[in-house]
């Protein structure tokens, strides 16, 4: 049996996460009015039945052999609704719940292969403390392994993001390590990475120092190929990944940004919402080329697709003489897309931009086991890892 959440609750949650508290409040109030009307009707019918010596009960009704009391919506005033919605936006979505599918429960994620590990650790430095989960695949060679850092989006956590992107399954195929830093709710109530704060946009400060520190701690504790360390993220995590590539070009060989924003797109909350709604007005260019793959749905109403263009322009920096190749195709049984490749005169791909047509704010080709995924593809995880493994750090440092 598939359990479902009322459509109104699903829509209100979406609006809340998107920052539209007024719209969410209207939907919840309408739902409460509707339920109150049903409750009043039930009471009236029950009273009528009593007058007719009927045997039905006013206090409860039967559902699947159990009694459930009818809620009395008049007994408790509907105060603090906006605060309740704000709290809802900050709550972690259960791992088995998929809001993007009308409230149906998501299927469980794949079991851990024998010999692999997915463990929780912590990192502490002058900027604070962050937990992270590290996946070490069973399929590892004797040679040092690549390392991929994955930054989740708002309201997500490492387990949710791992399940939705299926990156651990790909790690088994490629023999790479994958780390999932966890944003603390104490740092952001919605568990967003604070990409819009100046202190979290600079090297050796704030969240960049913490994320880089996690990568460096893993590199000390495991056999990692230091020329093949990569970072990717979704939404706020994508924006944070773009920052990390720009401020730590000596650490990350390539960057993946899904539905994110460029470094400098915002400097506070109002400018963050402005950039998300219509794209940044102006962003700077990187001092060197940062190999970057960008994916964005052209129907994304949470982060405007123009932000993808800004990331591409920023990642290329001042490189000249680039050759553009445009490919239009369709994922098997899914979305069509336009892929634009920027290559240097030697044929090395410096940047890829994937515009996914009729897609919204979700990880392309992801699994229903995680939140904010669109299984209709193309497969963002596969394409990011392909792009990553085409780049090594020393190649870019020679430019």
> 32 and 136 share a domain?
no
- In this predicted structure, the answer to whether residue 283 has a pLDDT above a threshold of 60 is yes
> 86 and 166 share a domain?
no
Percentage, residues of the chain above pLDDT 90: 65
> 154 and 22 share a domain?
no
pLDDT of residue 13: 64
Q: Is residue 315 within 8 Å of residue 286, measured between CB atoms?
A: yes
DSSP 76: S
Token pair of 172 as six digits: 């088994």
Domain total of the chain? 2
Span 237-241, average pLDDT: 98
> 3 and 122 share a domain?
no
pLDDT of residue 255: 98
pLDDT of residue 93: 41
Span 103-116, average pLDDT: 71
> 146 and 246 share a domain?
yes
- In this predicted structure, the answer to whether residue 307 has a pLDDT above a threshold of 70 is yes
- In this predicted structure, the answer to whether residue 396 has a pLDDT above a threshold of 70 is no
> 141 and 31 share a domain?
no
> 87 and 236 share a domain?
no
99 in any annotated domain: no
105 in any annotated domain: no
Q: Is the pTM of this model over 0.85?
A: no
Report the CATH number that the domain containing residue 334 is assigned in CATH. 3.40.50.1820
pLDDT of residue 153: 98
> 16 and 142 share a domain?
no
Write the CB contacts of 23 (distance below 8 Å, at least 6 apart in sequence).
Answer: 12, 15
State pLDDT tens for residues 65-89. Answer: 333 332 333 333 444 555 555 554 4
Composition of the chain by helix, strand, coil, percent to 5: 35, 25, 45
State pLDDT tens for residues 156-176. Answer: 999 999 999 999 999 999 999
303 in any annotated domain: yes
378 in any annotated domain: yes
pLDDT of residue 23: 64
> 136 and 31 share a domain?
no
User: Worst-scoring range by mean pLDDT, 151-160, 245-254, 285-294?
Assistant: 285-294
Place of tokens 């920023």: 314
98 in any annotated domain: no
51 in any annotated domain: no
- In this predicted structure, the answer to whether residue 142 has a pLDDT above a threshold of 50 is yes
- In this predicted structure, the answer to whether residue 185 has a pLDDT above a threshold of 70 is yes
Can you tell me the distance from the alpha carbon of 319 to that of 32, in angstroms, rounded to the nearest whole number?
Answer: 57
Regarding predicted confidence, which is higher, 7 or 128? Answer: 128
Q: Is residue 28 within 8 Å of residue 7, measured between CB atoms?
A: no
96 in any annotated domain: no
DSSP string, 337-397: EEEEEEE-TT--EEEEEEEETT--SSEET--TTSSSEETTS--HHHHHHHHHHT--HHHHH
Can you tell me the distance from the alpha carbon of 66 to that of 48, in angstroms, rounded to the nearest whole number?
Answer: 24
Span 175-190, average pLDDT: 97
> 33 and 129 share a domain?
no
Mean predicted lDDT score pLDDT of the chain: 82
> 85 and 164 share a domain?
no
Can you tell me the distance from the alpha carbon of 5 to that of 320, in angstroms, rounded to the nearest whole number?
Answer: 53
172 in any annotated domain: yes
> 327 and 210 share a domain?
yes
Which residue range forms the structural domain that includes residue 196?
117-397
Q: Is residue 170 within 8 Å of residue 366, measured between CB atoms?
A: no
């Amino acid at each position: 049996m598939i359990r479902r959440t009322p459509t109104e609750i699903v829509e209100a949650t979406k609006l809340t996460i998107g920052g539209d508290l007024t719209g969410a409040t209207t939907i919840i109030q309408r739902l409460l009015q509707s339920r109150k009307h049903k409750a009043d009707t039930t009471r009236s019918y029950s009273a009528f039945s009593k007058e007719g010596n009927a045997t039905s009960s006013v206090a409860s009704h039967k559902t699947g052999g159990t009694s459930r009391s009818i809620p009395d919506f008049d007994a408790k005033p509907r105060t603090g609704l906006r605060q309740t919605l704000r709290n809802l936006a900050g709550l972690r979505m259960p791992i088995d719940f998929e809001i993007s599918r009308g409230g149906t429960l998501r299927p469980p994620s794949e079991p851990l292969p024998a010999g692999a590990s997915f463990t929780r650790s912590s990192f502490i430095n002058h900027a604070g403390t962050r937990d992270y989960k590290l996946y070490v695949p069973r399929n590892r060679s004797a040679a040092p392994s690549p390392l991929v850092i994955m930054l989740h989006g708002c309201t997500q956590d490492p387990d949710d993001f791992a399940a939705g992107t299926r990156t651990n399954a790909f790690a088994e195929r490629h023999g790479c390590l994958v780390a999932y830093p966890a944003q603390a709710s104490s740092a952001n109530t919605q568990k967003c990475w604070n990409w819009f704060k100046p202190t979290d946009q600079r090297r050796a400060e704030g969240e960049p120092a913490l994320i880089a520190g996690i990568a460096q701690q893993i590199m000390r504790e495991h056999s990692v190929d230091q020329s093949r360390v990569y970072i990717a993220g979704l939404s706020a995590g994508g924006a944070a990944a773009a920052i990390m590539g720009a401020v730590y070009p000596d650490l990350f060989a390539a960057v993946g940004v899904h539905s994110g924003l460029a470094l400098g797109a915002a400097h506070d909350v109002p400018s963050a919402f402005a950039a998300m709604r219509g794209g940044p007005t102006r962003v700077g260019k990187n001092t060197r080329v940062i190999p970057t793959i960008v994916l964005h749905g052209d129907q994304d109403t949470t982060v405007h697709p123009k932000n993808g263009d800004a990331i591409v322009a920023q990642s290329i920096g001042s490189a000249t003489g680039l050759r553009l190749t445009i490919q239009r195709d369709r994922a098997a049984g899914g979305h069509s897309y336009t892929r634009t490749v920027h290559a240097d005169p030697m044929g090395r791909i410096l940047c890829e931009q994937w515009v996914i047509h009729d897609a919204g704010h979700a990880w392309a080709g992801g699994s229903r086991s995680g939140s904010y995924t669109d299984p209709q593809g193309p497969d963002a995880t596969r394409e990011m890892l392909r792009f990553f493994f085409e780049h090594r750090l020393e190649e870019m440092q020679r430019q």
